[in-house]
A and B are shown apart, each in its own frame.
Chain A
Amino acid sequence: MRVVSPVDTHKLDQRTLLYVKNLKVWFPLRKSITEILTMAPTKYVRAVDDITFTINEGEVFGLVGESGCGKTTTGRAILRLVDPTSGTVAYKPSEQTLKELIRAEGPRILLESKIHVDVTKIKNMKPLRREMQMIFQDPYGSLNPRQTVLSILMEPLEVHGIGETKRERIEIIMKTLELVKLVPPEDFLHRYPHHLSGGQRQRVGIARAIILRPKFIIADEPLSMLDVSIRTDILKLMMELKEKLGLTYLFITHDLALTRYVADRIAVMYLGKIVELGPTEKILSNPLHPYTRALIQAIPVPDPSRRKELKTPEIKGEVPSAVNIPPGCRFHPRCVALDRNPHLAGYCKVREPQLIEVEKDHFVACWLYSKA
């Protein structure tokens, strides 16, 4: 057993599309009047607190956790919709985009691999936005109610100067609508979001994400606001587009059971940290971190024969605030495994565990597994 971060084992190579290292996103809290007067240090909400992972080309990487664990903030930080506090977010762009980026910011944005870039200035993200897109959770809130489908989809094309004439752009829009199965496309062009059902809106959201032909898409809970019977169709569409367009997904979800059907690998987040990372099947069949175990125990099972039993996930209390993160392992106040292994208290309550590789490709950050 070695103490290594997952990036060291997945070397930054040709296949790596996205590389996130030591990413932190801290939001400062406003100071109260007494805090200003006593010159108390600024407090931060540590939404994302030092996480590291890589995503390979063609992979679906699931980021799982409960609300407030920082999974959405991670996604937004990757796209620079929020500014990371520190850390590296590197991406492997296409050759043409790479040239544009180097022209704008100079070769210093290149990482050692020579094919990955870490853009420093937000305004230089523009060429990258052609390649990195997002599907949002809320199909009701993420489309402008005063824009028609045509105008929603026209905007990215105009911003990025794709298509010579308006006619050409409409052609691209029609093709994209066909790709997301809003057919016949001419029926949808002039509709407003309120004319569309939830499933159709999410298809428009997907169309907007793919219209620039990106390579990498962050899907932030794309199914959670949809009805159960519609989810499967949207999921199938996303997987079909992945094959057709050669996409790579970062799939953010709170639903562990769902990751089994979509993700190749998953990372489980708790209070801003990745606590477990590995191939989906391995984590679901053999969860190592006490938190992952509790999450899995808590998932309701569609089998009424066990309804008379009480189901108590092995976890204590509630998630603490991301402002006052417990010292040592941030999960320790809720950890049942610590109660069973009181001799570990000297580690768990004091030192933060690092991700270690317990079996091939399966990493966990927990003192139970390190031979310290």
Chain B
Amino acid sequence: MESSETSTGEYILEVSNLKVYYYVIKGVVKAVDNVSFSLRKGEALGLVGESGCGKSTLGYALIRLVPPPGRIVGGTIKFKGIDILSMSEEEFRTKIRWKEISMIFQGALNALNPVIRVGDQIAEVYSLHLGLSKREGLMRARELLKIVRMEPDKVKSYPFELSGGMKQRVVIAMALALNPSLVIADEPTTALDVVTQAHILNLLKTIQRERGLTLILISHDLSLVAEIADTVAIMYAGKIVEYGPSDIVYKNPLHPYTDGLMRSIPRLTGEKSELVGIPGEPPDLINPPPGCRFHPRCKFAMDICKREEPPTVEFEHGHRVACWLHVKR
């Protein structure tokens, strides 16, 4: 992989200093706080973190669907060089959402309407966005089901007639309906069994390759992400703490949090080193700890970690870490 010193023209997505806050009665939840990263066309990014770290919120922000009381309060998102945050909602909805950027929502198994045949649900996408008739929409729906390796006749099925894996395929098909260039998949395989999960991953990989898709896979599971991601971003308490090519990050995690996550994964083969884990629990994002947000759980925490937020330091091949351990002073 090239170093990140390339012209911006190559990037399909550039996020800089993005802030998404939820304004709740108790205070302000800084779910995404100053997040920056860029994606090349055809790249697969794995966005990894635990529940409540802001990874899903980040995904929602990219298609401007942050649920209230959440708001994007700062930063920019450039898609193919255009600032999509300054667009009007109308413009974004007609030009970008679903046509250019689409999303496979978490809990996809419940994302389908139980009383409408899946074909009609897919056809609805076409009638809303392209103004196609129901007949044309259904024809396209049949084509789409072929792409996700399903029998075209399944357009006539109701969701309850389909297995979990099949429903997931339908949801993936809907995300692909308008041929977007960027797809955000938010935990696309949770609630699926391992065998089905493997099939869905294969499908995502194949489709990504066939269509040159850019993919963002949001997951809590480092093993799953390793199966597909070229680049990984590790999020903790609203911040990206480590970012880089997956080959490098998995082999040589620099942030103590990433390292702790790696050591928490039970492995089926190889040396059975003891599972280490990370003491404590993720912080409350209304009152995150001062300085580095990970310091209360970090065994390497120094004085400065408690006082000042660590800057992001860049290493070879675009491997970036936000940790005082790696700041040369």
* Interface residues in B, total, Cβ within 8 A: 47
A302 touches B265 (CB 8 A): yes
Interface string of B91-132 (1 = CB under 8 A from A): 000000000000000000000000000000000000000000
A227 touches B266 (CB 8 A): no
| B247 adjacent to chain A (CB < 8 Å) | yes
| B9 adjacent to chain A (CB < 8 Å) | no
User: Which residue from B51, B206, B220, B262 sits with its C-beta under 8 Å from A302?
Assistant: B262
A198 to B227, CA, bound (A): 28
| B228 adjacent to chain A (CB < 8 Å) | yes
Interface string of B155-181 (1 = CB under 8 A from A): 000000001010000000000000000
A302 touches B277 (CB 8 A): no
B224 touches A227 (CB 8 A): no
Closest to B275 in A: A232
Task: Give the residues from 138 to 168 in chain B that come closer than 8 angstroms, CB to CB, to chain A.
Answer: 163, 165
**Among listed A14-22, A55-63, A311-319, interface-contacting one:** A311-319
B202 touches A312 (CB 8 A): yes
Task: Give the residues from 65 to 107 in chain B that come closer than 8 angstroms, CB to CB, to chain A.
Answer: none
| B25 adjacent to chain A (CB < 8 Å) | no
* Interface residues in A, total, Cβ within 8 A: 43
| A260 adjacent to chain B (CB < 8 Å) | yes
A302 to B46, CA, bound (A): 12
CB-CB < 8 A to A284: which residues of B?
268
How many inter-chain contacts with C-beta < 8 Å in the A-B complex?
131
For residue A221, give the distance in angstroms from its CB to the closest CB of chain B.
13
CB-CB < 8 A to A300: which residues of B?
194, 197-198, 201, 221, 223-224, 226-227
For residue B285, give the distance in angstroms from its CB to the closest CB of chain A.
13
Given A235-B275, A301-B268, answer yes or no on A313-B226 (Cβ-Cβ < 8 Å): no
A200 to B265, CA, bound (A): 21
Interface string of A211-231 (1 = CB under 8 A from B): 000000000000000011111
For residue B67, give the distance in angstroms from its CB to the closest CB of chain A.
21
CB-CB < 8 A to A274: which residues of B?
none
For residue B234, give the distance in angstroms from its CB to the closest CB of chain A.
12
CB-CB < 8 A to B265: which residues of A?
228, 257, 302
Task: Give the residues from 178 to 222 in chain B that come closer than 8 angstroms, CB to CB, to chain A.
Answer: 193-199, 201-202, 205-206, 220-222
A256 to B297, CA, bound (A): 28
Task: Give the residues from 206 to 253 in chain A that come closer than 8 angstroms, CB to CB, to chain B.
Answer: 227-233, 235-236
For residue A313, give the distance in angstroms from its CB to the closest CB of chain B.
5
B229 touches A233 (CB 8 A): no
CB-CB < 8 A to A296: which residues of B?
268
| B246 adjacent to chain A (CB < 8 Å) | yes
CB-CB < 8 A to A260: which residues of B?
266-268, 272
Given A254-B194, A301-B223, A304-B229, answer yes or no on A232-B277 (Cβ-Cβ < 8 Å): yes
CB-CB < 8 A to A307: which residues of B?
205, 226-230, 246
| B281 adjacent to chain A (CB < 8 Å) | yes
CB-CB < 8 A to A261: which residues of B?
266, 272, 275
| A67 adjacent to chain B (CB < 8 Å) | yes
Q: What is the predominant secondary structure among interface residues of chain A facing chain B?
A: helix
| B261 adjacent to chain A (CB < 8 Å) | yes
| A299 adjacent to chain B (CB < 8 Å) | yes
Given A300-B221, A307-B230, answer yes or no on A315-B195 (Cβ-Cβ < 8 Å): yes
| B260 adjacent to chain A (CB < 8 Å) | yes
| B282 adjacent to chain A (CB < 8 Å) | yes
| B276 adjacent to chain A (CB < 8 Å) | yes
A231 touches B264 (CB 8 A): yes
Task: Give the residues from 272 to 308 in chain A that come closer than 8 angstroms, CB to CB, to chain B.
Answer: 284, 294-305, 307
CB-CB < 8 A to A295: which residues of B?
194-195
A197 touches B194 (CB 8 A): no
A66 touches B226 (CB 8 A): no
| B11 adjacent to chain A (CB < 8 Å) | no
CB-CB < 8 A to B281: which residues of A?
197-200, 227, 230
CB-CB < 8 A to B196: which residues of A?
318
CB-CB < 8 A to A227: which residues of B?
50-51, 220, 281-282
B264 touches A257 (CB 8 A): no
A339 to B87, CA, bound (A): 57
Task: Give the residues from 245 to 274 in chain B that come closer than 8 angstroms, CB to CB, to chain A.
Answer: 246-247, 250, 260-262, 264-269, 272
A312 to B195, CA, bound (A): 9
CB-CB < 8 A to B206: which residues of A?
310
For residue B90, give the distance in angstroms from its CB to the closest CB of chain A.
39
Given A229-B264, A256-B268, A298-B198, answer yes or no on A303-B226 (Cβ-Cβ < 8 Å): yes
A58 to B160, CA, bound (A): 44
CB-CB < 8 A to A232: which residues of B?
264, 275-278
Given A230-B277, A300-B226, A300-B227, answer yes or no on A66-B193 (Cβ-Cβ < 8 Å): yes
| A258 adjacent to chain B (CB < 8 Å) | yes
A201 to B111, CA, bound (A): 29
A298 touches B282 (CB 8 A): no
For residue B102, give the distance in angstroms from its CB to the closest CB of chain A.
22
A11 to B79, CA, bound (A): 68
Interface string of A315-327 (1 = CB under 8 A from B): 1001100000000
Closest to B263 in A: A232
Closest to B48 in A: A228
CB-CB < 8 A to A315: which residues of B?
195
For residue B287, give the distance in angstroms from its CB to the closest CB of chain A.
14
Closest to B165 in A: A318
Closest to A301 in B: B223
A133 to B160, CA, bound (A): 36
CB-CB < 8 A to A198: which residues of B?
281
User: Which residue from A231, A258, A305, A311 sits with its C-beta under 8 Å from B247?
Assistant: A305
A294 to B246, CA, bound (A): 26
A229 touches B229 (CB 8 A): no
| A50 adjacent to chain B (CB < 8 Å) | no
A257 to B230, CA, bound (A): 24
B277 touches A229 (CB 8 A): yes
CB-CB < 8 A to B229: which residues of A?
304, 307
A311 touches B227 (CB 8 A): yes
Beyond the given A233-B277, A307-B205, A307-B228, please list 7 additional residue pairs across the A-B interface where CB-CB is below 8 A: A66-B195, A260-B272, A297-B198, A300-B221, A307-B226, A312-B199, A312-B202
Residue pairs across A and B with Cβ atoms less than 8 A apart, 8 shown, are A66-B194, A66-B195, A228-B50, A232-B278, A301-B268, A304-B230, A304-B250, A318-B163
Q: Which 5 A-B pairs have the closest CB atoms?
A: A232-B277, A304-B246, A229-B278, A227-B50, A66-B193
